[in-house]
Amino acid sequence: MGLTATTMARHVEASRKLQKRAEQMIPGGVNSPVRAFRSVGGDPLFIVRGQGSHLWDADENRYIDYVGSWGPLILGHAPPGVPEAIGAAAKNGTSFGASTAAEADLAEIVISAFPHVEKIRFVNSGTEATMSAIRLARAYTQRKYIVKFEGCYHGHADALLVKAGSGVATLGIPGSAGVPEEFTQLTLALPFNDAGALELAFKKFSNQIACVIVEPVVGNMGCVPPAPLYLDALREITLRNNSLLIFDEVMTGFRLAFGGAQERYGILPDLTTFGKIIGGGLPVGAYGGPAHIMDMVAPLGPVYQAGTLSGNPLAMAAGLATLRYLRSHKSTIYTGLEMLSAQLTEGVTAAAKDAGVPLCCNRVGSMFTWYFTDGPVTNWTSAAKCDTEAFARFFRAMLDRGVYLPPSQFEAAFLSAAHTEKDVHHTIAAAKQTFATSHVAS
């Protein structure tokens, strides 16, 4: 390769100053906790600009970005057509609290990609999507209990903040303060990749479980793929017990395939939740399913759910431009992402092996995590065995070499269609140097 990735004389003064100012007014200086770098140390970046696979911070450092706004940016930053679509929509007014044609346009694309979705409702975040889908599942089944899996994150609604991975796991908080026990008593948290545990729960709570909600490929304890036939087992068990299966595809939808994880693994859930990519970088979430379930939502049915800015014209425009681009390039984009992601993860994993650093890589398509453990990582218990201090050293060393990874061991990294072989070579070279010089595993 002959590539070098020397440590930059990286300035942080401007970001540090902005962080200090923000901290006086905003808790931790951030509007979402993992952004604060608490588990990796160092100065959180203040971003000035993003273009393609790159970010520039307030100190004019340039980074290859593997965070991608935590998932939405499958086409990279400011991809051709998306800023233009947002601008064109904005010129006609930013919000009406009444319907625009773009809502049905976006609905049509999502419905075409997800065969079990006949109707869809747009909301403003993934959190709202999962919260609403669970309300709907409870109303439809007239049952109270819900099942989630340890390490899966479904947003920050009270009932779902139980063993909830990523941000929560990073901070070591069991659930969250401010959530009364009574509010989570109806949430059963089971180990992921263990169909037997689900069978037992259905025996114990027979005819009482409204739904099982799962990240079909987990991204929020780092990337953890489903074991072979695990998703098939979830489908079979929920069907047999007249319980709904909810695939939370907020992260995986339009990422692992145009039709999400359910296309990739060939499983049809009852309800699907969306977010991230469908908003093209603007705040959007959605939930969808068969008409006979979705028609229980107000105004047709008794399940109340609403939103002042839901279906916002700018957000719909960004989502539409993104999904239309993906649809017309899907025969090349997903195979390209697969190949380049494999090249990247295999290169870094090999570099760790050469340097004697224990590293276990999980990857599905363009979602991946380098776990600092021998592995395998198949659920929350095995993910939690990671050497998070080693990860933190790796993270900081890579940042100094111009590579921006998610600032937590328990968050998936993403490749976008804007990443190039040059980016990948630079990243592998940076990892080699890091493993050789930084005593990551010491």
Ligand X SMILES: *Cc1c(COP(=O)(O)O)cnc(C)c1O
Rule CB under 6 A: which residues touch ligand X? 125-127, 130, 153-155, 215, 219-220, 248, 250-251, 275, 285
CB of 340 to ligand X, least distance (A): 22
CB of 251 to ligand X, least distance (A): 4
The nearer residue to ligand X, 267 or 351, going by C-beta atoms, is 267
- What is the rounded end-to-end Cα distance, in angstroms, of the chain? 28
The nearer residue to ligand X, 247 or 435, going by C-beta atoms, is 247
Give the helix ranges, DSSP H, for 92-244.
Answer: 101-113, 126-141, 166-171, 181-184, 195-204, 230-240
The nearer residue to ligand X, 5 or 120, going by C-beta atoms, is 120
CB of 380 to ligand X, least distance (A): 15
Q: Which residue is nearest to ligand X (CB)?
A: 126
How far CA 71 is from CA of 41, 67, 76, 170, 356, in Å, comes to 22, 7, 10, 18, 31
The nearer residue to ligand X, 50 or 219, going by C-beta atoms, is 219
Let me know how long the chain is: 442
Say if strands 119-123 and 285-289 run parallel, antiparallel, or are unpaired: antiparallel
Say if strands 62-65 and 403-404 run parallel, antiparallel, or are unpaired: parallel
Q: Which residues are marked as active site? A: 153, 248, 276
The nearer residue to ligand X, 127 or 362, going by C-beta atoms, is 127
Give the C-alpha separation, 351 to 432, whole Å.
Answer: 5
**308: buried, middle or exposed (CB in 10 Å: 19+, 13-18, 0-12)?**
exposed
| DSSP notation for 34-80 | GGG-TTT-SPPPPEEEEEBTEEEETT--EEEESSGGGTT-TT-BS-T
With contact defined as beta carbons under 8 Å apart, do 293 and 270 qualify?
yes
CB of 434 to ligand X, least distance (A): 27
Question: How many separate helices (H) and strands (E) can be counted in the chain?
Answer: 15, 14
CB of 406 to ligand X, least distance (A): 12
